[in-house]
Structure 1
């Protein structure tokens, strides 16, 4: 269970919003101006990958900053306890009450074959969390995490790790999205034994390796990619807007390295555009610079 909770903590998927303009292909952006004494950096991660090796430009940005801020404070010793409290459905809802018998059998078989346990053990867990438990099976390699690498370097540099939001904030997102809509994702995954998910994760990782954050947003904005794309405001827009005052606070205090899911970067309500609207100069950083 501890392993599953750790996995869930790094697999909150991002969906997307309407494009404002095509941004340069880069996952690393420099934040300057608007009264900042020192530059900060914004790095777009992918939560599940086969290779989380940090490129030289990212390492330099980490060296030039003095604290790391992720979506949530992932070294919070109480994080797993808080997640455990928030992963269950309310109002006595159960998975079995939201799917038909055929769908339930398919989901149960998927869990037995891939997780080594029956889904009956997680009968009242939110459907999104059930799907998240399977994410590491969507890739044909040992799962790596950019967040884990960032935490490792921060620790080596004796730097603090903070969060732009709390784990309770993230859990609330999946309380606001109807369970019935969340379960559609799980049913699709079970019916084709993860074939669709594996193909899409492979495509997403290729897009990420090309640092094409605009194409990533286009893909994630497609409702055929995710059944909860209609809830972009809760998944992305509202969170991005809430992050800007926090980013301002951290960056004004000291040079800060921000690491968030790459799906949050592009678009009209993406973090890059919102920071620019707030008066900051945000420019792409390329490894050749």
Structure 2
């Protein structure tokens, strides 16, 4: 279950950048500004039915020497680290964040979907519970682009590393009010995942088209307040924290950076931030 959460919690981060229009591409070449070798930036999606990598991405993987994802997904300590960051702070519980009626709706829903009572999950951040439900949003076995990148990286005997720690990533959900998270979980329970499935279907179609700008528009218009009102902690703050790390890593070794596709576009997206830092970032078709 922890591995599924690790692969799915990131889906919320593929959202909400106010964007300049960029070419339709998920793969971008990073060069210039003193780099001795090129590196690549690749937009991933964390839940999909089709995890086949395009030929251009496989080529970029063969040209680079290591893989950096948002998290070091093959770190054996990751699951333990995730467990430590799943609990709410300050004694908050699901019952304290909801009315008796809403808690019952969530309890009945979770029993049906996960086989767990909400009482057993009472101290877990509501978003973490929502993340457990993401495999239910697609009518197939859940796969991830990260999984395919990791498989290829291992076949090439290359190292897999992470741009941020589990603690850094999960801390985002202490910056988003637990009340907002709970409200979204209640909405999901009451509509029985229907709205979530519609949005996921739209996102998968947009991802397949490689239109990173349309993905932003989709999520800005989302009814989910976590994605539509908390761009700062979800995206911008993380993007800005990544830039010096990406620059240092790329200056030392040719690297493919695989991050959620929503991090790419926009004024505060990784592409524009790297360009502002003096690097040439070009779409690969």
Asked if TM exceeds 0.5, the reply is yes
| CA RMSD, Structure 1 to Structure 2 (Å) | 1.1
Q: Do the aligned partners of 1:151 and 1:161 also contact (CA within 8 Å) in 2?
A: yes
TM-score, normalised on structure 2? Answer: 0.96
Alignment correspondent of 2:229: 230
Shift of 1:52: 0.7
Q: Do the aligned partners of 1:103 and 1:187 also contact (CA within 8 Å) in 2?
A: yes
Higher mean Cα deviation, 216-225 or 140-149?
A: 216-225
Q: Do the aligned partners of 1:181 and 1:227 also contact (CA within 8 Å) in 2?
A: yes
Q: Do the aligned partners of 1:88 and 1:126 also contact (CA within 8 Å) in 2?
A: yes
Shift of 1:18: 1.6
For the residue of structure 1 that corresponds to 2:22, the secondary structure is: coil
Pairing 1:144–2:135 present: no
Instruction: Give the 5 Å matches for 1:60-209.
Output: 60-209=59-208
Shift of 1:56: 0.5
Instruction: Give the 5 Å matches for 1:40-51.
Output: 40-51=39-50
Shift of 1:247: 0.5
Shift of 1:222: 2.3
For the residue of structure 2 that corresponds to 1:68, the secondary structure is: strand
Shift of 1:225: 4.1
Q: Do the aligned partners of 2:16 and 2:227 also contact (CA within 8 Å) in 1?
A: no
Q: Do the aligned partners of 1:181 and 1:228 also contact (CA within 8 Å) in 2?
A: no
Instruction: Give the 5 Å matches for 1:230-269.
Output: 230-269=229-268
Shift of 1:277: 0.6
Give unmatched runs, 5+ long, in structure 2. Answer: none
TM-score, normalised on structure 1? Answer: 0.95
Shift of 1:223: 4.6
For the residue of structure 2 that corresponds to 1:53, the secondary structure is: coil
Shift of 1:140: 1.2
Q: Do the aligned partners of 1:223 and 1:230 also contact (CA within 8 Å) in 2?
A: no
Pairing 1:10–2:7 present: yes
1:226-282 Cα offsets, whole Å, 9 max, x none, are 444221111100100110101001111111000000010000000000011111111
Shift of 1:49: 0.7
Name the CA distance, whole Å, in 2 between partners of 1:95 and 1:254: 46
- What is the aligned residue count? 282
Shift of 1:170: 0.4
1:19-43 Cα offsets, whole Å, 9 max, x none, are 2x21011111111111111111100
Q: Do the aligned partners of 1:184 and 1:227 also contact (CA within 8 Å) in 2?
A: no
Name the CA distance, whole Å, in 2 between partners of 1:176 and 1:142: 32
1:126-152 Cα offsets, whole Å, 9 max, x none, are 011010000000111111011111111
Task: Evaluate the alpha carbon distance shift between residue 198 and residue 223 of structure 1 in structure 2; reply closer, same or farther with a 3 A threshold.
Answer: closer
Name the CA distance, whole Å, in 2 between partners of 1:50 and 1:158: 26
Alignment correspondent of 1:278: 277
For the residue of structure 2 that corresponds to 1:43, the secondary structure is: strand
Q: Do the aligned partners of 1:220 and 1:226 also contact (CA within 8 Å) in 2?
A: no
